[in-house]
């Protein structure tokens, strides 16, 4: 197993804690009804990884800025991420998030959806503070970056849900990579890197290498997530095991299985995917998982994640070539092995 | 479970890595390029934030710093080695793998370097095979595996506390586009732990300046 140093985990925790305080400052603690604030605070109080704000803050520091300059942006990232999670859990009807019942299972679907909307609105408040801290020009640029990211993310989510609804079985790894660029990478890694570098460098940065690094890093993250969904511990990973198979998600693992399976196995998989979710029994799910192992689909995805991570390591050198060595720069570099070694 | 087990073997893992390298990473590189163009169009003031795109405008001090850094990196990469002891026992592949950077080359030229395999263990290592994949860039363009020369391709026996030099040469095709190309050196002794290979193919302007 690839190891991740305790120093790195301590630094991640430190960035996460700083961002958590900032995030909570943008959630109203008075004057708003508990029907909104209580569910909105629920996920924020659970211990998430805090990757997105940490990446944004560390990149800003690495490029010469101070964490306080990027704090509203980092908070907006976490608020928007949490909003996406709430709605994602409703769309997938997931049972668990971070080891506890999902928001809609606790508060009901309607209040959960509204809380997700509220979290996105709170993110707008955080972004608005950029004008005061960074000036109108840079704040406007960050707004444009968020605008582009948000459009990519909701489009990616729509594509994934559409593939499931239409029972699409004709997809390739290209389709999958394009999907995860939209639905995951842009808001998880690409945007945090881009806005962190913009703020830290006062806009004097070439963002193209950052996009390359961000995509490889985010893809490694997503593929690892797909693997953890199948093989991770329920207690540590915090979601219901085999949830992606139950939902019929078109992960890289499933696409590999569809390509590698014998004709009879493929027929069985396609029959399974054509079922309504409620018809998918635990036995049927276990059989699909066994096929994924038998056909090397899980191993393929694990190697794919490692391959992408190797590319990310090379892309990091390019994106941070002119950035002097510092603890923040090292932290960002160490995110690469972390993405494929993490168990939650 | 037979298929699953078979891909865990050295040959299976090697093929798996080659498949990922050939198909997946190439696709990933093209995704990046597509989005680079897209985001540049969508966020129109990006060019305001772009730094000088060439050496123009850099002060002499930064040029010296950059040259020193490149020189240091180059030496470090030339010393890149594959150490058997640290990976004995089928250790898990590491994403932060070692990188071997070849000297830049121009189209129709070649670039050559060495990779050293050490055996600091007390056991004899036998039957090692060395293979190099083709190289890919985000252009997208490829340098085929046939353009890569490796010698020796196998090491029958490596005694304890001895080393063996592996020579690598890449003959850059005449019409090869400029860019940064990536490949993998695969050594059968540690199939899941390849060494990254990086080659910069210079454009005509760079090569003559």
Interface predicted TM-score (ipTM): 0.72
Contact B100, B170 (CB under 8 A): no
Q: Which candidate, A156, A160, A164, A169, places its Cα nearest to that of A255?
A: A169
Backbone angles phi, psi at A55, to 5 degrees: -65, -40
Cα dihedral A210/A214/A217/A222 (nearest 10): -170
Region of A17 on the Ramachandran plot (φ > 0 left; ψ -120 to 50 alpha; else beta): alpha
Which pLDDT score is estimated for B9? 44
Return the bridge partners of B126, or none.
B157
Give the integer Cα–Cα distance in Å for A220 and A236: 19
The residue of chain A nearest to residue B73, with distances taken between CA atoms, is A317
Give CA angle at A42 (A92, A49), nearest 5°: 75
Query: Using CB atoms, which residue from A1, A173, A294 is nearest to B27?
Result: A173
Q: For residue B164, name the pLDDT band (cuts at 50, 70, 90).
A: confident
Which pLDDT score is estimated for B130? 85
Mean pLDDT of all residues belonging to chain B:
67
Q: Give me Rg for the CA atoms of chain B.
A: 20
- Number of A to B CB contacts under 8 A, please give it: 131
Q: Distance of CA A7 to CAs A63, A333, B159, Å?
A: 21, 13, 38
Distance from CA of A301 to the nearest CA of B (A): 9
Q: Distance of CA A238 to CAs A102, A221, A244, Å?
A: 11, 16, 14
CB proximity list for A166: less than 8 A, separation 6 or greater? none
pLDDT tens-digit series, residues A180-216: 999 999 999 999 999 999 999 998 898 988 999 999 9
Give the integer Cα–Cα distance in Å for A10 and A113: 34
- Predicted TM-score of the model (pTM): 0.70
Contact A311, A318 (CB under 8 A): no
Chain A residues whose CB is inside 8 A of the B63 CB are: none
pLDDT of residue B52 exceeding 50, the answer is no
pLDDT tens-digit series, residues B105-149: 999 999 998 888 887 777 888 888 888 877 877 555 788 888 999
B172 vs A307: which has the higher pLDDT? B172
Contact A308, B28 (CB under 8 A): yes
Distance from CA of B115 to the nearest CA of A (A): 19
> β-pairing, B110-119 with B162-171?
antiparallel
Mean pLDDT highest for which of A25-29, A67-71, B126-130? A67-71
Q: Among B15, B28, B200, which would you mutate to test the A interface (most chain A Cβ atoms within 10 Å of its Cβ)?
A: B28
H or E segment to which residue A81 belongs: helix A67-92
Mean pLDDT of all residues belonging to chain A:
92
Give the integer Cα–Cα distance in Å for B153 and B138: 28
Contact B95, A335 (CB under 8 A): no
Asked if A296's CB is within 8 angstroms of B42's CB, the reply is no
Give the integer Cα–Cα distance in Å for A229 and A246: 11
pLDDT of residue A234 exceeding 80, the answer is no
Query: Using CB atoms, which residue from B4, B17, B27 is nearest to A177?
Result: B27
Mean pLDDT highest for which of A52-66, A223-237, A256-270, B85-99? A52-66
Chain A residues whose CB is inside 8 A of the B138 CB are: 212
Which pLDDT score is estimated for A192? 98
Look at residue A46 and give its three-state secondary structure: coil
H or E segment to which residue A263 belongs: helix A263-274
Which pLDDT score is estimated for B119? 79
Distance from CA of B204 to the nearest CA of A (A): 22
Look at residue B175 and give its three-state secondary structure: coil
Asked if A2's CB is within 8 angstroms of B95's CB, the reply is yes
Helices and strands (H, E) in chain A, number of each type:
17, 2
- How crowded is the C-beta side of A56, counted as CA atoms within 13 Å? 27
pLDDT tens-digit series, residues B87-98: 333 444 444 557
pLDDT of residue A5 exceeding 80, the answer is no
Cis peptide leading into residue B152 (ω within 30°):
yes
Instruction: State the CB neighbour count (10 A cutoff) for residue B127.
Output: 11
């Amino acid at each position: 197993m690839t190891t991740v140093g305790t120093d790195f985990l301590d630094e991640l925790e430190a960035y996460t804690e700083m961002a958590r305080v900032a995030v909570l400052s943008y959630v109203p603690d008075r004057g708003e009804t508990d029907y909104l604030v209580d569910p909105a605070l629920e996920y924020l109080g659970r211990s998430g990884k805090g990757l997105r704000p940490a990446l944004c803050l560390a990149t800003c520091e690495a490029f010469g800025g101070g964490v306080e300059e990027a704090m509203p942006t980092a908070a907006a990232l976490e608020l928007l991420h949490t909003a996406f999670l709430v709605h994602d859990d409703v769309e997938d009807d997931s049972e668990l998030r971070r080891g506890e019942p999902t928001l809609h299972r606790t508060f009901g679907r309607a209040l959960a959806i509204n809380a997700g909307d509220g979290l996105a609105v709170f993110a707008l408040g955080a972004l608005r503070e950029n004008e005061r801290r960074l000036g109108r020009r840079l704040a406007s640029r960050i707004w444009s970056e968020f605008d582009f990211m948000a459009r990519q993310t909701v489009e990616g989510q729509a594509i994934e849900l559409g593939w499931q609804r239409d029972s699409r079985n004709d997809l390739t790894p290209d389709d999958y990579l394009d999907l995860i660029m939209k639905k995951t990478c842009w808001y998880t890694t690409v945007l945090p890197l881009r806005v962190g570098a913009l703020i830290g460098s006062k806009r004097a940065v070439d963002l193209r290498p950052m996009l390359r690094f961000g995509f490889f890093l985010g893809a490694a993250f997503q593929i690892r997530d797909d693997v953890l969904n199948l093989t991770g511990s329920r207690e540590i990973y915090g979601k219901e095991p085999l949830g992606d198979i139950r939902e019929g998600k078109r992960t890289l693992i499933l696409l590999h299985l569809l390509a590698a399976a014998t004709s009879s196995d493929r027929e069985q998989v396609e029959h399974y995917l054509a079922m309504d979710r409620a018809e998918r029994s635990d036995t049927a799910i276990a059989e699909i998982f066994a096929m994924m192992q038998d056909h090397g689909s899980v191993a393929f995805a694990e190697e794919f994640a490692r391959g992408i991570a190797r590319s990310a390591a090379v892309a990091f050198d390019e994106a941070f070539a002119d950035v002097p060595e510092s603890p923040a720069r090292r932290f960002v570099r160490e995110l690469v092995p972390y993405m494929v070694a993490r168990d939650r | 479970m037979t298929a699953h087990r078979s891909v865990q073997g050295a040959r299976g893992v090697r093929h798996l890595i080659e498949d990922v390298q050939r198909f997946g990473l190439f696709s990933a590189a093209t995704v990046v390029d597509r989005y680079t163009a897209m985001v540049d169009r969508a966020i129109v003031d990006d060019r305001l934030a772009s730094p000088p795109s060439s050496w123009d405008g850099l002060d002499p001090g930064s040029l010296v710093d950059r040259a020193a850094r490149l020189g240091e990196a180059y030496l470090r990469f030339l010393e890149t080695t594959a150490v058997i002891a640290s990976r004995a026992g089928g250790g898990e592949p590491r994403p932060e793998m070692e990188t071997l950077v070849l000297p830049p080359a121009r189209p129709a030229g070649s670039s050559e370097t060495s990779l050293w395999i050490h055996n600091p263990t007390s056991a004899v290592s036998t039957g090692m095979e060395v293979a190099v994949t083709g190289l890919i860039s985000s252009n997208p363009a490829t340098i085929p595996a046939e353009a890569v020369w490796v010698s020796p391709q196998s090491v029958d026996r490596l005694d304890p506390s001895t080393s063996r030099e592996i020579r690598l040469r890449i003959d850059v095709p005449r019409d090869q586009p400029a860019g940064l190309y990536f490949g993998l050196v695969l050594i059968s002794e540690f199939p899941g732990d390849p060494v990254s290979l990086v080659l910069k193919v210079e454009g005509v302007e760079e090569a003559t300046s």
